[in-house]
Amino acid sequence: MIASPARSSYHTVVVGAGIIGLYTAYHLAHAGAGPILVLDRGFLSGGASGRNGGGVRQQWETPATIRLARESVAAYRRFGREFGYNIWFRQSGYVFVAEDEGQLARLRRVNAVVRGEGLVSRVIDAAEVLRLVPGIRPDAIIGGTYLRTDGILYPFPALWGLYEAVRALGVEVLLGAEVTGIHAPGGRVAAVETSLGRIATEHCVNAAGGWSGELSRRAGLDVPNVATRHEILATEPLKPFLDPMVVRVSDGLYFSQTMRGEVVGGIAPSTTLATRLGMGSSLDFLARMSRGLVGLFPQFRSLRVLRAWSGYYDDTPDGFPVIGTDARLPGFVHANGFGGHGFMLAPASAQRVARAVLGEPSDLDPHLFGPQRFSEPGRALPTERLQLG
């Protein structure tokens, strides 16, 4: 049973009721724009916003990303007071660990950029990694970096809080409705074609996460977004033993302990399987992830895995998200390409998306975040390569 939209025409239709779409709708509604409709073809929390590991970090390779992340951390700190749901944002740090000098040198460079932005990250030696990650095999790492104000949160209540907040502000949210195309006579967005019929709107925000590339292409736009399947597992719940999120630079192995006590983590996907299997899980992932964890914690061999699941990263070639109006199709605003880091960058990014919808000037560098950057001729690509954890 799917309700139909209450109106025939909207100021903005946001496609995707994930963290980016809901935050965007929230900022728009707050700014007095309206009416607003959020559409999602699945159920609330059915996409990557309900499938991520909850990491929120500010250690990035580029100052522009660090600024978005830092602003988002501030937003998550006040989330409980603003939205009425407790997201259990625990700022107990991110530890990036290196296994050799080459990796450590890379982390040192990241550390310098992060410190340059006024954050107190630091390079730590093996002894301090051991102190922060009790039980880790001492010879498994040589050192790393640590930023105490990074953290983890519980993603679901963030969605519940935003869902209820936007609805209280008059935003309509329709679940189970798919956008099949964009109606753009005269070269600008006039309506979205949906499984519920045509819905007139001046603006369409593409916040469809792993499906955003498909949606852009349905709008006739050539975009480089690629959906990559990533898997996660969770163990049975344990008493608290681990505070920070831990990320191994070499293979992207990451894990943390949630408020519920489960060890939750993943690893960079093996390329052959990343595009198969839909939302399924693979024995390949379970085996590689388990071997990784047992390699770091030999005493965890008897620890049991409770479940594993998967979701899609929405990857871009340069590792930066795509935020802003597409010049090829006025009214079509991108809010995608977050590469598995949408949750941690959402509050700040969605504010910029809302500004783009409202036609307000942006403080984001269009060469890094703009939709046009991929077609700039002869562009020397800056990249954000710290796409781990």
- Contacts to other proteins by CB under 8 A: 1, 43-46, 50, 77, 80-81, 84-86, 88, 90, 135, 156-157, 160, 164, 167, 235-241, 259-261, 277, 279-283, 286-291, 293-294, 297-309
Instruction: Pick the closer one to other proteins by CB: 158 or 354.
Output: 158
Instruction: Pick the closer one to other proteins by CB: 74 or 112.
Output: 74
Instruction: Pick the closer one to other proteins by CB: 137 or 379.
Output: 137
Instruction: Pick the closer one to other proteins by CB: 199 or 234.
Output: 234
Residue 111 host element (H or E): helix 101-116
Using the structure block, give the residue that is written with the tokens 């899980």. Answer: 281
DSSP for 47-61, please give it: SGGGTS--EE----S
Find the distance separating the first CA and the last CA of the chain, reported in whole Å: 37
Shortest distance (Å) from residue 272 CB to other proteins: 13
Instruction: Pick the closer one to other proteins by CB: 33 or 286.
Output: 286
Please tell me the distance from the alpha carbon of residue 209 to that of residue 345, in angstroms, as a whole number: 13
Residue 22 host element (H or E): helix 19-30
CB 237 within 8 Å of CB 255: no
Query: Residue 12 to residues 96, 191, 354, 384: CA-CA distances in angstroms?
Result: 40, 10, 10, 30
Instruction: Pick the closer one to other proteins by CB: 84 or 116.
Output: 84
CB 265 within 8 Å of CB 233: yes
Query: Residue 166 to residues 38, 83, 185: CA-CA distances in angstroms?
Result: 10, 10, 30
Shortest distance (Å) from residue 294 CB to other proteins: 5
Instruction: Pick the closer one to other proteins by CB: 147 or 329.
Output: 147
Shortest distance (Å) from residue 13 CB to other proteins: 20
CA nearest 334: which of 187, 232, 222? 222
Contacts (Cβ under 8 Å, ≥6 apart) of 205: 12, 13, 14, 15, 16, 21, 24, 333, 335, 353, 357
CA nearest 190: which of 4, 371, 10? 10
Shortest distance (Å) from residue 51 CB to other proteins: 10
Shortest distance (Å) from residue 228 CB to other proteins: 19
Instruction: Pick the closer one to other proteins by CB: 331 or 342.
Output: 342
Query: Residue 115 to residues 110, 118, 123, 191, 350: CA-CA distances in angstroms?
Result: 9, 5, 11, 46, 25
